[in-house]
Amino acid sequence: MTTKEIIELLKEKETDFLKTKTFSQLPGIYAFFYIGNDFPLLGDSVSKHQIIYIGKTESSQEKRDSKTHFTTGKTGNSTVRKSIGSILCSQENLTPIPRNESDYEAGRFSHFKFDEPSEKIIT
């Protein structure tokens, strides 16, 4: 399957997250679509129904999406949450913090999460 075919298949399967009742128990590729009207920082350059994130899960979509990407306190393990938090950081006054002491001491500043109030805003 080509990249173009995968993207077209993802577009065919677009579903509003709030209407999602179940998640796949299988590994695979998934996408997040923008459904708003004014994307933070980029305005109308990101249009409605545009893919803004493509990811893969080696376990299951349920475990990766519903129990990591959309769970408060999981930013340290989620590129999606880090990306959303980074985009909204100034606008929402979010506070990034080291994921843990050893990452900080080793200078791994890309290994971060947000404080609890910020985590709730991201969710």
Q: Provide the pLDDT for residue 73.
A: 66
What are the structural domain ranges in the chain?
Answer: 1-70, 72-123
Identify the pLDDT of residue 13: 87
pLDDT at 118: 92
Per-residue pLDDT reduced to its tens digit, 16-28: 877 878 878 888 8
Could you give the CA distance from residue 65 to residue 77 in angstroms, rounded to a whole number? Answer: 11
Indicate the pTM of the whole model: 0.64
CA dist 13 and 26 (Å) reads 16
> What pLDDT score does 25 carry?
85
Indicate the residue type of 120: K
Residue numbers of the chain with a pLDDT score lower than 70: 40-43, 62-69, 71, 73-74
